[in-house]
Amino acid sequence: MALYLYNTLSRRKTEFVPRVGNHVAMYVCGPNLYGPAHIGHALSYIIFDTLKRYLKFRGYDVKHVQNFTDIEDRIIETARKENTTIQALAEKYIARFLSEMDSLNIRRADVYPRATEAIPTIIKMTQGLIEKGMAYELDGDVYFRVRADEDYGKLSHRSLDEMEAGARVAVDERKNDPMDFALWKASKSGEPAWDSPWGPGRPGWHIECSAMNLEQHGPQIDIHGGGQDVLFPHHENEIAQSESYTGKEFAHYWVHNALLHLPGQEKMTRHLGGLIYIPDALSRHSSDAIRAFILGTHYRSPLAWTEDGVDAAERGLDKLRAAVKDAVAPGPEANDALSESAAQAREKFITMMDDDLNTAGALGALYDLAREINRARGEGSSPAQLAAAQATLLELADVLGLTLREPTHAVSADESAKIDALVAERNALRAAKKYKEADGVRAQLTEMGIEIADSAQGTTWKKTK
């Protein structure tokens, strides 16, 4: 068994084999820092987080690099509008981004390089490309010469002639070819600028990722990821620059996630509006529910975000949570039938994930196992007997970034004491068979957002809102 990933470059699923031993060099395109992230970003980063978790689960050693684009037209524009600096803007949104990703249980990358910290490498690469005849200077700008790159278009699978035929881009007459793109842009007055052989300027959009990859990973990487929207031109240009500069194959696997949208609308993206921000989503749903909702669809299929859909995922998680709620440390005691179920679930989980990250199928394996655990408990298995299977369920859930913890709702000490008193009162009434009065107390608790459950072990309660 081996992991197969769909590679955009070959348009096929191929077996994943790292270039060097079990070391995986992975680079995922990070956000442009001119505004806050939205749940479309969350989708992409949840998927690549899951890929990373799975690679680690499979025994690979992963170096995950994710950039921050902190210099770009939009950022300059936004900084000017908000009367601030690009640095301040970047700092603000980086802090927000990282904390939002944390709250979605997305593990941090190993390195977060920033474009502005890669300027010397960007200049070195640009210079190198000019020397090779792959780029040319024009009034302080430097453009990549797409016609000099014989396989330009190989990633997005289109030819220059096709693209130019249907071009919607305003043509800059000075350029050699309409598709030539900027590696370096001369700065206008008042714009951030760095000294360069071509005068004061700043990097183009695509070269930063090539430079940061070179700095962090070297000339060749295993996995390059991002949303399908950055496939062209961003990744196409990246591959062109990097390979023209190094003369080597750049990324071995290109992985692109499909995009998120709202029902009946186009993709969620910042320049179209119609965004749902991460704190808003988290105020209504647990991070587990958001992840389960997203991972319930294959990453290469577009997904419509609906509140009902996430709610359904939340309710589904209750079944998984119930399965592990009384988990104790696994010991020698085990339920053989259950151990068999756990082994089957693990096998199914791996089979699914090996097949190009079939997270929906993997989730199915989790539900199968949860059902067996809940059934075994119902049939009288002790916590000790359930423990090993529960450990498996928690381990596999964690690969998907699911904690299976009850969503927490803060309860003050005062409130807690009051609830305990009411629960005790109700139980006294029940013991006296005064059920009508007991139900009255329960209604009172429900009113407070408290859900109670009676069992042989006593009455438990939880706050649900």
Partner RNA sequence: GGCGACGUGGCCAAGUGGCUAAGGCAAGGCUCUGCAAAAGCCUGAUCGUGGGUUCAAUUCCCACCGUCGCCUCCA
Contacting RNA within 86-145 (CB under 7 A): none
Binder to RNA among 367, 384, 403, 411 (CB under 7 A)? 367
Rounded to whole angstroms, how far apart are CA atoms 243 and 251?
9
Is residue 270 within the footprint of RNA (CB under 7 A)? yes
Q: Between residue 413 and residue 442, which ones bind RNA under the rule CB under 7 A?
A: 430, 435-436, 438-439, 442
The total of other beta-carbon atoms located within 10 Å of residue 360's CB is 14
Contact 241, 183 (CB under 8 A): yes
Least distance to RNA, CB of residue 428, Å: 11
Determine the size of the site formed for RNA (CB under 7 A).
87
The residues near 393 (Cβ < 8 Å, ≥ 6 apart) are 320, 323, 324, 342, 345, 366, 369, 370, 373, 404
Question: Which residue, 130 or 289, has its beta carbon nearer to RNA?
Answer: 289
Binder to RNA among 20, 167, 171, 417 (CB under 7 A)? 167
The residues near 118 (Cβ < 8 Å, ≥ 6 apart) are 203, 208, 211, 212, 215
Least distance to RNA, CB of residue 211, Å: 16
Q: Between residue 346 and residue 365, which ones bind RNA under the rule CB under 7 A?
A: 352, 355, 358, 360-361, 363-364
Least distance to RNA, CB of residue 154, Å: 12
Question: Which residue, 332 or 465, has its beta carbon nearer to RNA?
Answer: 465
Binder to RNA among 312, 334, 411, 448 (CB under 7 A)? 312
Q: 384 exposed, middle or buried (CB, 10 Å; 0-12, 13-18, 19+)?
A: middle
Least distance to RNA, CB of residue 40, Å: 3
Order of strands across the sheet that contains 141-144: 135-138, 141-144, 181-186, 201-203
Least distance to RNA, CB of residue 349, Å: 11
Is residue 340 within the footprint of RNA (CB under 7 A)? no
Is residue 211 within the footprint of RNA (CB under 7 A)? no
The CA–CA distances, whole Å, from 272 to 245, 256, 331, 355, 389 equal: 35, 21, 55, 34, 47
Least distance to RNA, CB of residue 407, Å: 14
Q: Given the rule CB under 7 A, which of 104-112, 124-132, 252-260, 389-397 is the region that contacts RNA?
A: 252-260
**Terminus-to-terminus CA distance in the chain, angstroms?**
44
Q: Given the rule CB under 7 A, which of 96-104, 331-339, 398-406, 450-458 is the region that contacts RNA?
A: 450-458
Question: Which residue, 55 or 317, has its beta carbon nearer to RNA?
Answer: 317
Question: Which residue, 123 or 317, has its beta carbon nearer to RNA?
Answer: 317
Q: Tell me how long the chain is.
A: 465
Rounded to whole angstroms, how far apart are CA atoms 261 and 39?
9
Pairing of strands 12-15, 23-28: unpaired
Rounded to whole angstroms, how far apart are CA atoms 295 and 288?
10
Question: Which residue, 11 or 59, has its beta carbon nearer to RNA?
Answer: 11
Binder to RNA among 5, 9, 24, 30 (CB under 7 A)? 30
For residue 410, give the H/E element and its range.
none
Q: Given the rule CB under 7 A, which of 108-116, 119-127, 254-262, 277-285 is the region that contacts RNA?
A: 254-262
Is residue 204 within the footprint of RNA (CB under 7 A)? no
Rounded to whole angstroms, how far apart are CA atoms 349 and 366?
8
Which single residue is written with the structure tokens 């981004």?
A: 97
Binder to RNA among 58, 319, 346, 418 (CB under 7 A)? 319
Q: Between residue 271 and residue 300, which ones bind RNA under the rule CB under 7 A?
A: 271, 296-298, 300
Question: Which residue, 249 or 311, has its beta carbon nearer to RNA?
Answer: 311
Is residue 226 within the footprint of RNA (CB under 7 A)? yes
Q: Given the rule CB under 7 A, which of 87-95, 229-237, 384-392, 397-405 is the region that contacts RNA?
A: 229-237
Please say whether the dihedral angle defined by the alpha carbons of residues 40, 43, 49 and 55, taken in this order, is positive or negative.
negative
Rounded to whole angstroms, how far apart are CA atoms 212 and 25?
13
Q: Given the rule CB under 7 A, which of 141-149, 191-199, 212-220, 314-322 is the region that contacts RNA?
A: 314-322
